[in-house]
A and B are shown apart, each in its own frame.
Chain A
């Protein structure tokens, strides 16, 4: 019948409004309102004794003023905002800067290092990533031949200025290293989860062991 679809639609939305299970598809990041029942359950008592013990908190939670932090971890393969970089693995080849479609990675190297990795090592002076313009395509991570650059795992990078969104080399060196598993099958093979709180060392993130300096010298000597 003509116009029946309109009323079917009304039925759908009314069902959304009154069915309890359908109400809360919203995830209340970063805080979630906690009910008095949940509070009592958390302190392993019943509601009445909980309310007798700390009445102020019970009243506050009953009128919806009690909040608990509620942040769900992202998937281990989530492409986060703070890039994770391992200086021990980086040779300063600047592949990441060349592959970046937006040209937001800036690298300045100093040819003073020795061949630590397989190839000559440059000392990194500047390594800026402007994540304010980044679209998180991950081509820099794909391009890195030595698994030195990884996507991060966090996403709370709100800043008041654009300049605050530039990740410089000092921050890359000092920040906790929780690389995303994205494009890094070796991390997935080791069941590494960046949201577990564990940091990954430069040994964990590589596809192969770092050859010793002696071994490298032998190799270079043979080639020569």
Chain B
């Protein structure tokens, strides 16, 4: 189902004079479908994440309400809706109210251009990649609005951290995306999926590593959850939020892994391609695998400090993405045929070269710019020397 199909159906039923209304009807139905699909899958995802993180930490997770805790998301939603909606008296009311919406909408919009089957909800978009990058970067405005409007210094700290982090991590993310566009020769998500004879995770693991890490940071998931560092900022930008507004924040936050999982699946994991079972099932399987990995990292790694996050981006990921881009560019110009396309064999050769190079590059960059384990020897205090001389 795409916007084009819905528009055709609506156009057939409406009279000539109400042609403009067909856009409205098609858009409304599409928005309804996308929002409901995403909200329901997000509800399922919250349960998935909480149960899985329980397993990783040797406990059970929510299991009381319904078989295997299946009704837990509904219980959460009811609880959040029933809570009183409080706004601080000194808050900027308008900005305070619309910031959850600004936070949520980009995720939904990004989802509507992803190729879930042959086409996306909005049909095929030939600059989908640029669109996705532009739209997913927008959610940080919601975070900053929330932090600013709350008139709470911890909320503002969290929001400022979020903005600084996004600015740092968009650069390596875009650099690794340039390599993807170069290899597939198109910016449309459908074209990228069709260009992957081998999944790009094998063709350029370095690019995947950079993109995956930058995605974690952009979602502000652990270990990059500086925005809402509970132990430091009291849950950061959403400190002052409660009730329905907080529910929207939570919804967007738990929707982001799904949306980003879909993006990563399209760009690096081969989208709907796969043997034996049909395309959509492969897509879902890959998104779930992505979700598994990010829950795994969340349950394992501690949070990075602010300076470590900046260091990791500018001294770690940025050089790695440059190496990746240079490598892929050279290989592409050596291996390309007359029309600039790559065959399966070419991609296999690239994979054979790039997989070892990835490990070497990560090792070298890690040891060049990483924090060294050995500490500097402390300089003895002059007072200690005086005491020794006095004896």
Contacts and interface: CB of A to CB of B under 8 A. Distances in A.
Interface of A: 1-3, 6, 9-10, 12-14, 16-17, 22-26, 28, 33, 63-65
Interface string B129-152: 000000000000000000000000
Nearest to A12: B300
Interface residues of B, number: 22
Contacts of B58: 16, 22-23, 25-26
A23 B366 contact: no
Contacts of B296: 10, 13-14
17 contacts: A1-B366, A2-B366, A2-B370, A6-B300, A6-B301, A9-B301, A10-B297, A13-B57, A13-B299, A13-B300, A14-B56, A16-B57, A23-B58, A25-B58, A28-B60, A33-B63, A64-B68
Contacts of A63: 67
B52 interface: yes
A1 B364 CA distance: 10
Contacts of A23: 55, 58, 60
Interface string B301-336: 100000000000000000000000000000000000
A6 B316 CA distance: 15
Nearest to A24: B60
B52 A17 contact: yes
5 nearest CB pairs, A to B = A2-B366, A17-B55, A26-B59, A13-B56, A13-B300
Contacts, number: 49
A22 B59 CA distance: 9
Contacts of A24: 60
B160 to A, nearest CB: 27
A64 B67 CA distance: 6
B221 to A, nearest CB: 15
Nearest to A63: B67
Contacts of B367: 2
B363 interface: yes
Interface in B205-261: none
Contacts of A6: 300-301
Contacts of B363: 1-2
Contacts of B59: 25-26
Contacts of A64: 67-68
A25 B55 CA distance: 10
A24 B54 CA distance: 10
B60 A26 contact: yes
Contact of A9 (B52, B63, B300, B366): B300
A166 B299 CA distance: 41
Interface string B60-73: 10010001100000
Contact of B370 (A3, A13, A14): A3
A26 B297 CA distance: 22
B93 to A, nearest CB: 35
B358 to A, nearest CB: 13
Interface in B250-303: 296-297, 299-301
A65 B366 CA distance: 51
B284 to A, nearest CB: 21
Q: B59, B300, B301, B370: which has the most chain A beta carbons within 10 Å?
A: B300
Contacts of B362: 3
A142 B68 CA distance: 47
A130 B122 CA distance: 65
Contacts of B373: 2
A13 B296 CA distance: 8
Q: A2, A9, A24: which has the most chain B beta carbons within 10 Å?
A: A2
Q: A14, A16, A24: which has the most chain B beta carbons within 10 Å?
A: A16
Interface string B106-142: 0000000000000000000000000000000000000
A96 to B, nearest CB: 39
